Amino acid sequence: MATIAVIGLGNMGGPMAGNLVKAGHDVVGFDLSVAAMEAVKARWVRLAETAHAAVADADVVVTMLPSGKHVVAATAGPDGLFAAARPGTLFIDSSTIDVASARAFHEAAVVAGHQSVDAPVSGGVGGAEGATLTFMVGGTDAAFAAARPLLEAMGKKIVHCGGAGAGQAAKICNNMILGISMIAVSEAFVLGEKLGLSHQALYDVASTSSGQCWSLTTYCPVPGPVPTSPANRDYQPGFAAALMLKDLKLSQEAAGAAGAATALGAAATALYTAFAAEGNEGKDFSGIIEWVRTRADET
Ligand code: NAD
């Protein structure tokens, strides 16, 4: 049993902290939001008055924060959590953040004498609740080995992607595929509608042909063929368009810095920017099919 501090008890961090408790760990949590702190009480997470108090006696610190600037501000510098924790603490950052901030997080952890992994997740709130998340992990072999049993308490697939920042790199590459493929599937259904093809007929063909992909077979953007997809509940998330746009922007930032050509990634970012700007940030990202359909009707 380890003493684990969880910093950031929001939609993801709250249930992840609860699963660490279920695995028998002593979990102490902190969040700037009083509502998030209150909500996690039912999960038997001990609450600390400050982030510093939460990490003071911890063997492991898990951060689950909104973005890179939050992670770097919370951990680095003389007032940060690296300085407040005992040397040799294992830091696991599971937030989705830019690769440059992830590398800065690792560098500051090493300077402070800690072990660190970037370990972003896919699987959403359902995966966080059910401990079925996929973790994409970047860091040394030793840090990965130390983190693995804890990640197994919160997820079902744990992949060591490489050194510092490799987990974040894998996450944004995967989600760039997802954003592009959802638009591709949406365009195909809207074209099919214009050609008089039923949704079910297109689904039956494409789901067993070369157009097959997760956006089609698990998350089909039209109601009917996949009863569990958000299209069947008026595009309630699921995975909100705002989060998809965040990840696409991270992919474009990384592509610019690395000099990679991502023409379709750039196009998907532009389309999700327009979709979100029309008041759809809170809708499931598969709702972009409605936006594609509106554009088709305008032409
Ligand atoms: P959230 O907004 O629900 O939770 C973030 C929490 O961090 C908030 O409660 C906020 O008060 C807290 N916080 C911010 N700064 C803090 C600080 N300095 N100290 C303590 N607490 C602080 O967000 P979420 O949905 O839980 O997502 C967290 C991360 O996981 C994000 O990076 C997101 O991109 C990623 N993610 C989310 C999902 C999803 O479906 N929600 C899926 C995969 C990855």
What is the distance in A from the centroid of ligand 1 to the CA of 51? Answer: 15
What is the distance in A from the centroid of ligand 1 to the CA of 288? Answer: 24
Catalytic residues: 171
What is the distance in A from the centroid of ligand 1 to the CA of 119? Answer: 14
Measured from the CB, is residue 161 less than 6 Å from ligand 1? no
**Residue whose structure tokens are 């987990």:** 167
Measured from the CB, is residue 30 less than 6 Å from ligand 1? yes
Cβ-contact 238, 230 below 8 angstroms: yes
Measured from the CB, is residue 40 less than 6 Å from ligand 1? no
Contacts of 113 (CB under 8 A, 6+ apart): 87, 88
Query: Residues of the chain with pLDDT > 70: what percent?
Result: 100
Structure tokens at 272: 């999700």
Class of domain 169-298: mainly alpha
186 closest CA partner among 298, 296, 274: 296
What is the distance in A from the centroid of ligand 1 to the CA of 279? Answer: 21
271 closest CA partner among 299, 255, 290: 290
**Rounded CA separation 121/168 (Å):** 9
**Rounded CA separation 5/18 (Å):** 12
CA distances, 264 to each of 167, 180, 281 (Å) = 22, 7, 21
Measured from the CB, is residue 124 less than 6 Å from ligand 1? yes
pTM for this prediction: 0.94
Mutate to test the pocket of ligand 1, among 7, 9, 11 (most ligand atoms within 8 A of CB): 11
249 closest CA partner among 72, 257, 123, 9: 257
Q: Whose Cα sits closest to atom 17 in ligand 1?
A: 32
CA distances, 63 to each of 15, 102, 103 (Å) = 13, 12, 15
Say if residue 296's pLDDT is above 90: no
What is the distance in A from the centroid of ligand 1 to the CA of 32? Answer: 11
Segment (H or E) for 118: strand 115-118
Domain range list for the chain: 3-163, 169-298
pLDDT band at 124; cut points 50, 70, 90: confident
Q: Whose Cα sits closest to atom 31 in ligand 1?
A: 66
Say if residue 238's pLDDT is above 90: no
- In this structure, CATH architecture of domain 3-163: 3-Layer(aba) Sandwich (3.40)
Q: What is the pLDDT of residues 146-198, one digit of tens each?
A: 999 999 999 999 999 999 999 999 999 999 999 999 999 999 999 999 999 99
Mean pLDDT of 226-248: 96
Measured from the CB, is residue 274 less than 6 Å from ligand 1? no
Query: Residues of the chain with pLDDT > 90: what percent?
Result: 96
Of ligand 1's listed atoms, the one at least distance from the Cα of 65 is 7
Say if residue 44's pLDDT is above 80: yes
